[in-house]
A and B are shown apart, each in its own frame.
Chain A
Amino acid sequence: MSTNPKEPVNRRNFLGAAARVAAMTGVGALLGKLAGATAAKGTVWQIDPAKCVRCGKCATACVLEQSAVKCVHAYAVCGYCELCTGYFGPEPNELTTAAENQLCPTAAIQRTYIEDPYYQYHIDEKLCIGCAKCVDGCNRYGNGSLFLQVRHDRCVNCNECAIARVCAGDAFVRVPVDQPYLLKTKPTTS
């Protein structure tokens, strides 16, 4: 084989060049077709709280040892109730922080007294496993201020989210990376 860059035009070189031209045309066509379908910013996974059915699979289906999904508290939506149905199990013995009264399996919700009769509920993310038990309690009877979100300090942003694949409510959506949370806000209607 010659080391001279000006190779003679033989069948092989010609076919090679034709294939390259065809392939580059293909690449160009692909680019053009996708031009309107690209997002410069990229996307991340997030849970649409309006679609979440609290099936509990977030706690187990994530590829991470401890799920990237955690409970988030929208304080502005919270009623600060003394009897919090996201904190207390059904029919609590008394409204105290005793473990047997709590709904959370890992005691990840901290209840602090503010003033009569209001209590603040705070999620300790280190303990939260994303099981959605509190979310269910809060949504079923309360204001729905507790909800699940993908925490992006933990999420590795898999190409195909393993939780999205099994999500019972089909609540996982790709959101733009610069607005990565779907936080709940206060109810708009009266």
Chain B
Amino acid sequence: MFRRLLHLLFGLLLLSATALAEQRFPPPDFESGYQLPTPTTPAPRAGLMQYADVVVLLSALALALWLVYRTRSRRGITALSLFSLAYFGFYRKGCVCAIGSVQNVALALCDSHYALPVTVLIFFLAPLTVALFAGRAFCAAVCPQGAIQDLVLIKPLKVPAWLETPLGLIPYLFLGAGVCFAATGSGFLICRYDPLVPFFRFNGSELMIGLGVAFLLAGLFVGRPYCRFLCPYGALLRLATLAAKWRVRVTPDTCTQCALCQHSCPFGAMREPTGMQKREPLKTSRLRLATFLLLLPVLVGLGAWGGSQLATPASKFNRTVKLAGRYVRSLTTPDRFPMELQRVEANPGPVLAKAEEIRQQFLLGATLFGGWVGLVFGVKFISLCLRRNRTDFEPDPGTCFACARCFETCPSERIRRGWIPAELETARSKE
């Protein structure tokens, strides 16, 4: 299978070249004994080293889990994120990363001509599997994009809930759009609009460098703005944590409900005990829940319809569709840059057919995307109505990046570590 794929990718050029090497038109017959040089072919770094990347990723994930669950060490997490930033960020220039791998997987699922490198599949699955069992340890210290934001955070401000909740939906939408574009072969939006990669490469378009600077400036005061309000892989991990078996728990003992952990969390991930919340009457809540449950299919349907309306404009981002459009226009008005059009002019049929095929794919993709948007909103409304019972301060596993900041603020943890004499604390709490 691999060999066939290899041939497909390679085309017939080399095939015929190897088969007929002795039948080439001979070069000049030099009398001076001149020997033909051969062009140099420096080997790509990606050969063996891509597996080194995987080893580093898996080790870093394991280490992050150990640091979060066993040593509970913020210092260790910081050190690991510095390493990840240096390795995955500045050394590997941010490619390939788990965030972008979503698109490779989507493309491989939809395009039979695309071969997904195994390493990319591991980059996609490993953090996701970890999240399924133990939360977002990847975000804590392995992701270079997360690390760079975590390190610039100096004066965290709390984002009000009315702003945080809707902004928190953007990653899901970005994820949907990214998958839709990747699946139709229209490009990797998530890579293209990653604002932090230009820092790793010390280069990028003005727009992306500007965005990156904006994100880092905002990151001085708002904890990890990209992770919370844009990162599509984060959205996927957030979904995965719904099933997480182990969750980050702040207090090792009983919660004293001191709320120190809530203040220490720069990402607004701590949820207070339900006893401390103001609650509306149960009846109102139930009524509201029923309304939103009924509304969910309506929202999905509405979204799907809206999405299908977006299909045509969205499909114009695809190169083939754009090219076909330019070709059709060029039949009436001459094109300014005819070079791209040459391959269409030679044989318009296949390009036009391909464009039409992609348009159809976009119709499906955009409809699904619209439905997804409706679903995201509907489920969010429903989840806002759900009443949960908490007796302690607990981090929301979906929002928590497992950064380990809160542990050290918890009095019980401090006692556990022997930073406060246990007797003193017991005496104080008895007063």
Contacts and interface: CB of A to CB of B under 8 A. Distances in A.
CB atoms of A and B under 8 A apart anywhere in the complex? Answer: yes
Interface of A: 1, 16, 19-20, 22-24, 27, 30-31, 33-34, 36-44, 48, 50-51, 53, 55, 63-65, 72-80, 114-115, 118, 120, 122, 151-153, 155-160, 165, 168-170, 173-183, 185-188, 190
Contacts of A55: 339-340
Contacts of A43: 9, 115, 117
B28 interface: yes
Interface string B13-55: 1101100110111111011101011110111111100100000
A118 B201 CA distance: 43
Contacts of A157: 44-46, 95-96
**Most-contacted residue by chain B among A38, A48, A156, A175 (CB, 10 A):** A38
A152 B121 contact: no
15 contacts: A20-B245, A22-B243, A33-B109, A39-B6, A41-B2, A53-B342, A64-B203, A75-B36, A115-B30, A152-B43, A159-B188, A159-B191, A168-B340, A169-B340, A181-B41
A185 B47 CA distance: 24
B6 A27 contact: no
Nearest to A3: B252
B339 A75 contact: no
Interface residues of B, number: 81
Interface stretch (B128-136, B149-157, B262-270, B400-408): B128-136
Contacts of A72: 39
Interface stretch (B74-82, B98-106, B158-166, B278-286): B98-106
Interface of B: 1-2, 5-6, 9-11, 13-14, 16-17, 20-21, 23-28, 30-32, 34, 36-39, 41-47, 50, 93, 95-97, 100-101, 103-105, 108-109, 112, 114-121, 125, 128-129, 132-133, 187-188, 191-192, 201-204, 240, 242-245, 249, 319, 337, 339-340, 342-343, 392
A20 B133 contact: yes
